[in-house]
């Protein structure tokens, strides 16, 4: 049995870093800075290792070496393009050769744009619009034991919220003969109502984030107390 257990080391590290971070409550200080810089370094090093072991090795290096060893050159050829792409993107480190990295960046931007475009359409716009329409569905309301009056009232508030919040982000304006610009009066009115809905939404998000932050704060204080109690054997 080892003299110092793994749990004790983990607990001590956790205790130390929690104290260093919470020391920010008395003001910015070197302990807080050391903890934050070390955290960034450790997290980056861990991400680099994860990228190697869970992306580059199983998806590129292992299939490439397997294909070469088995003489399956057709499969190996399919991996030449990403291998070249990886080589190109690493040229970004050198200012003289960084232009070549644009080829890989163009590939990533093209693929990313297509994925986000499809995701925005099928993952947000269609489901959110459908959910807003479905709110008025009498059968769904009956299944949830909600009366027609309640459905119409709440559905109207929801619909007004969606439309006016969207109008708030509409910045199209007409140009007057004197060169000044002004939004359309109807859009302006909708945007004013939309501000109230956005204020309510952001307030709700704030309350949720604050509750989560407070829970994390209490959990950290509790972990400090538990570590001290365990270390000194206090019941």
Partner 1 sequence: MRVFTAVIAIAVGVLVLLGYFLPQAVSSQIILLDWAIILAGAAALVGILNLVNVHADKIRRRAKDGIYSAVLIIGLFATFVFALVLKPQNAYVQAFVLKGIIIPVEASLMGLLAVSLLYAAVRLLRRRSDVMSIVFIVTAGLLFLGSATLPFGDVPLIGTLVRPWVTQIWALGGARGILIGVALGTLTTGLRVLFGVDRPYGGN
Window contacting partner 1 (CB under 8 A); options: 7-15, 67-75, 171-179, 180-188: 7-15
Q: Which helix (H) or strand (E) holds 175?
A: strand 174-175
Instruction: Please report how close the Cβ of residue 234 comes to partner 1 at its closest, in angstroms.
Output: 21
Q: Is 138 in the site for partner 1 (CB under 8 A)?
A: no
Cβ-based neighbour number of residue 20 at 10 Å: 19
Structure tokens at 64: 């490439």
Q: Which is nearer to partner 1, 23 or 235 (CB)?
A: 23
Instruction: Please report how close the Cβ of residue 85 comes to partner 1 at its closest, in angstroms.
Output: 5
Count of residues binding partner 1 (CB under 8 A)?
117
Output b/e per residue, 154-187; b: 16+ Cβ within 10 A.
ebeeeeebbebbebbeeeeeeeeeeeeeebeeeb
Taking the C-alpha atoms of residue 131 and residue 123, their distance in angstroms, rounded to an integer, is 12
Three-state SS at 29: coil
Instruction: Tell which positions 9-28 bind partner 1, by CB under 8 A.
Output: 9-10, 13-14, 17-18, 21-22, 24-25
Q: Which helix (H) or strand (E) holds 148?
A: helix 148-168
Q: Which is nearer to partner 1, 70 or 109 (CB)?
A: 109
Which residue in 90, 142, 148, 182 binds partner 1 (CB under 8 A)?
90
Instruction: Tell which positions 92-131 bind partner 1, by CB under 8 A.
Output: 92-93, 99, 102-125, 128-129, 131
Q: Is 228 in the site for partner 1 (CB under 8 A)?
A: no
> DSSP secondary-structure letter at 3?
S
Which residue in 35, 76, 141, 151 binds partner 1 (CB under 8 A)?
35
Taking the C-alpha atoms of residue 170 and residue 143, their distance in angstroms, rounded to an integer, is 37
Asked if 81 and 72 count as a contact pair (C-beta separation under 8 A), the reply is no
End-to-end CA distance of the chain: give it in Å, rounded: 24
Q: Is 211 in the site for partner 1 (CB under 8 A)?
A: yes
Q: Is 132 in the site for partner 1 (CB under 8 A)?
A: yes
Site mask for partner 1 (CB under 8 A), range 166-205, x = bound: x-xx------------------------xxxxxxxxxxxx
Site mask for partner 1 (CB under 8 A), range 143-162, x = bound: -----------x--xxxxxx
Window contacting partner 1 (CB under 8 A); options: 54-62, 67-75, 139-147, 177-185: 54-62
CA 22, 27, 28, 29 dihedral sign is negative
């Amino acid at each position: 049995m080892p003299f110092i257990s793994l749990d004790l080391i983990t607990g001590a590290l956790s205790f130390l870093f929690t104290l260093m971070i919470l020391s920010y409550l008395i003001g910015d200080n070197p302990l807080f800075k050391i903890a934050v810089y070390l955290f960034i370094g450790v997290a980056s090093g861990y991400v680099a290792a994860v990228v190697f072991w869970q992306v580059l090795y199983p998806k590129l290096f292992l299939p490439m070496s397997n294909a070469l060893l088995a003489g399956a050159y057709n499969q190996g050829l399919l991996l030449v393009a990403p291998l070249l792409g990886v080589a190109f993107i690493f040229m970004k480190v050198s200012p003289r050769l960084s232009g070549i990295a644009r080829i890989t960046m163009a590939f990533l931007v093209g693929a990313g744009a297509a994925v986000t475009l499809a995701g925005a359409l099928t993952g947000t716009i269609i489901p959110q619009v459908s959910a807003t329409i479905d709110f008025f569905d009498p059968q769904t309301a009956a299944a949830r034991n909600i009366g027609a009056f309640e459905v119409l009232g709440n559905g109207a508030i929801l619909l007004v919220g969606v439309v006016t919040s969207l109008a708030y982000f509409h910045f199209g304006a007409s140009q007057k003969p004197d060169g000044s610009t002004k939004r359309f009066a109807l859009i302006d009115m909708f945007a004013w109502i939309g501000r109230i809905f956005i204020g309510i939404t952001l307030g709700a998000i704030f309350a949720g984030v604050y509750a989560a932050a407070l829970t994390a704060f209490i959990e950290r204080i509790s972990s400090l107390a538990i570590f001290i109690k365990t270390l000194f054997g206090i019941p």
